[in-house]
Amino acid sequence: MVVRSWRHIKERYNLIGVRCKNCGTVYFPSREICPKCRRKTDFEDIKLSGRGKVYTYSVVHVAPKDFEKQAPYVIAIIELEEGVKITGQVVDCKPDEVYIGMPVEVVFRRIKEDGDDGVITYGYKFRPVEN
């Protein structure tokens, strides 16, 4: 998820998922149909803790345009405490320090600043939790 300006930061500063009112499964991002219930059900918004652990990860050595300076970096699938899996970058540690099962928490960071209009893009990333 990418946030385009400060105006939207407050509503986006939390990870908001949805919970199926029928079976209790949590999803992020939100969706309309619960795959478990296999039908359209009611969902309620749920604020996710942002804490979880690394489920799997890979090290990106060749970065796409605008991200070259960050390479190598780690893209991981994070399994949150709520059971939902989110893909995100792992920051604040070296790629060889990342391991499966590593506890992490979400942080909101500047992703890039557009040259022309000065719009700063924010999004979520994950960092190791100090034990």
Per CB under 5 A, residues contacting Zn ion are 20, 22-23, 34, 36-37
Contacts of 69 (CB under 8 A, 6+ apart): none
Least distance to Zn ion from the beta carbon of 40, Å?
A: 10
Q: Long-range contacts: 57-60, Cβ < 8 Å, 24+?
A: 57/90, 57/98, 57/100, 59/95, 59/98
Nearer of residues 39 and 69 to Zn ion, judged by Cβ = 39
- Closest approach, Cβ 17 to Zn ion, in A, equals 13
CB of 5 to Zn ion, least distance (A): 34
Q: For Zn ion, which is the closer residue by CB, 15 or 20?
A: 20
